[in-house]
Structure 1
Amino acid sequence: MTDAGPRVPRLFSRGSWAEARRVAGILRKETVGGALLLGAAALALVWANSPWSGMYESLRGLTVGPASLHLSLDLATWAADGLLAVFFFVAGLELKREFVAGDLRRISRAAVPVAAALGGVVVPAALYLLATRHVAGAAAGWAIPTATDIAFALAVLAVIGRFLPPALRTFLLTLAVVDDLLAIVIIAVFYTGHLAPVPLLAALVPLAVFTVLVRRGVRAWWALLPLAFAVWALVHASGVHATVAGVLLAFAVPVVGGGPGGDTGLAEHFEHRFRPLSAGVAVPLFAFFAAGVHLGGLDGLGAALTDPVAVGVMIGLVAGKPLGIMAATWLVARFTRARLAEGLTWLDVLGLSILAGIGFTVSLLIGELAFGTGGDHVKLAVLAGSCAAALLAGVILRLRDRAYRRMSEAEADDRVPDDAYAVTRG
């Protein structure tokens, strides 16, 4: 036997890689991502109102990053601008897959949820502006109640909807994906401050190189990550919100072609890889740094939730979302050839439309862009409105789930005599 030479030590053992894969698989579950999101927000809220609230504020304000690159940012900003870029990267991958190979590829199937998403943006914004029409400066927050939190909404649906028709989840997913696209456009167009065109144009160079590499099937992180970071940093320097960089990078990834053998694309591969990072790290950390609001006792909580801006946000989320989605869905179904997916009823759509009032992640982000990190009343309104929407939708969808379970059991009972008869004849 020949000596093979000294063995190179492994950084990770097979067991540690297996454990990492198992953890990643857990984080891909919608219920786990939603639970982490809620847990992080609850922890921040408790900490910010504890005797150690100063430590929380100090942590949020801790500045890290190279000042020479204009990236000396506090942790709260890193979470909103940096970590949420990962969230929007994953959302962008999902959005592109839907447009290229999913339900949004066919206009006839996409018409109803796309119209529902549009209605779910227009009506909440209109109700918010109506409720805050006499408040100076409040108009800046018109987009806060227009967003739907995919992770939170799908987690609620997964917990309570064991017997609900699969078409309901598809409807919600398509609506939320289009909603994310609209949120991206709103952030880029309406919440961009001072635009610096040179860094924005410069971002096209690493983006172009990234595009060429992924279309040739390159998956190596050491080649793609520096390019992705360069795109993000240049977009951040341009004044456009840095989360838009995540979407631009996602849209560059091929859905079909470009993979090994040329038969599959990288979009699903990257989405599979980065979803645990988004659901398990990026979104919970953003919620942790964004949701820490000082309540000021019951009097402070009451004052916050009766603030006209907060009332406008809650009305938009709890009432505006279902009104807009239901109205748009009915109009499309009434005056076009588009129809609800088979197996869905209007009561199902009502529960789903209320569930879409869970704004949370993107609503908190837009609230910070509109009013800065000091908009505590807005944050409380987003938290309260999202929780109220989740509870109301949970009641309706739970009742529908029981109805579908009874229908399933009745159908199973009806099949028993026929099966027994067939066995007897045999």
Structure 2
Amino acid sequence: MQTNFTPEQLQDPLTARSNKVLRTCVHCGFCTATCPTYQVLGDELDSPRGRIYLIKDMLEAGRPADEKTVKHLDRCLGCLSCMTTCPSGVNYMHLIDHARVHVEETYRRPWRDRALRWLLARLLPYPKRFRLALLGAKLAKPFSGLVPDARLRAMLEMVPKAIPPVSRNDDGQVFAPEGPRRARVALMPGCAQRALNTDINDATIRLLRRAGCEVVIPQDFGCCGALTHHMGREKDALASARQTIRSFLAAGDLDAIIINTSGCGTTIKDYAAIFAGDPMEAEARQVAGLARDVTEFFASHGLPAITRPGEGLRVAYHSACSLQHGQQIRGVPKELLAEAGFTVLEPANPHLCCGSAGTYNLLQPELSAELKERKIDTLQAVSPQVIAAGNIGCMMQIGSGMDVPVIHTVELLDWASGGPKPPALAAHP
């Protein structure tokens, strides 16, 4: 793609990076075949190729974002399926990140939109605040049908039936390995996950210890910045990311940083690019280089001994977009589940998003609901007894529309190697 940025515009590092990304696009349109929103809406401007044209026009002209451009960019899930499909290697992730920052800086949204985005940015990355909000929303959930705003209804309807108790395992501390120490790792406890599902971190700690790992929970850990980063709130995102980097570096020498929320993993692995030219670039690069998805780590480190092989369960594996497209990790989780003795099923169209996508299901509830129904249909078609996934957002999204238990992959691996039966599975004998 030909671009016409001025030398002055290219002095801006983000614009210079976006210019390189735009120049790799050859207009082939392969991305339209795997874009979830294009499949639903059929509008070229709701495909990656169409959004690339909108972004190019906006950035080259140096103009503020307009309503039309914002509408189509907001509809983008950021699932990155287009990056997996693209034969030219277009880094759409960096391009849409830049566009969202530009929108946030130059476009004044309607007041309801501004208020909702401000609220999400002030609640979701803070576990204590989020937990309090969930308790309040649970009381209001029976009346969700009376709420006129679809986005507020979506927020109420996503509240889980039970809000888990606070887990002290998420506090800053060190867990000794069981047996000889083979590795020293830090576990990223997450933010929203600590309010929505504390079983995931508990299972991860048990599994790592059983595999001979000393597990460090960083002190004063907050949010990695992913949630606000994807909303274009650059100042908030960078502040959170800086604290994350400091927390991990304060943990001392590490063999790996273990991440069991794939949306966070994709962002942390991109820290070097996010902090390019920043005084913290070297530290960001160090943290990004240590980051490993929990399944990625066990693929090289090895699982502990399997003592309860699978129990004959049929497990449908849902591949989170941030894992399969953002981190290019596809087969590893399924291989680990099979190694643990589970019968692994893969639904049709596994590359398509479930519609969660961070805050997408709250900001674009109609599109999100359509994508959720499509995903649930493909999962039900393989008749699973349990669904495994590697991202809390996907688990909440799919679980809100199915009776089949949705469990994190690491919980099943923990159970198969001697841990307790996952609570979500115990409720569905």
TM-score scaled by structure 1?
0.25
Structure with higher strand content:
2
Structure having the higher Rg: 1
Structure with higher helix content:
1
TM-score scaled by structure 2?
0.25
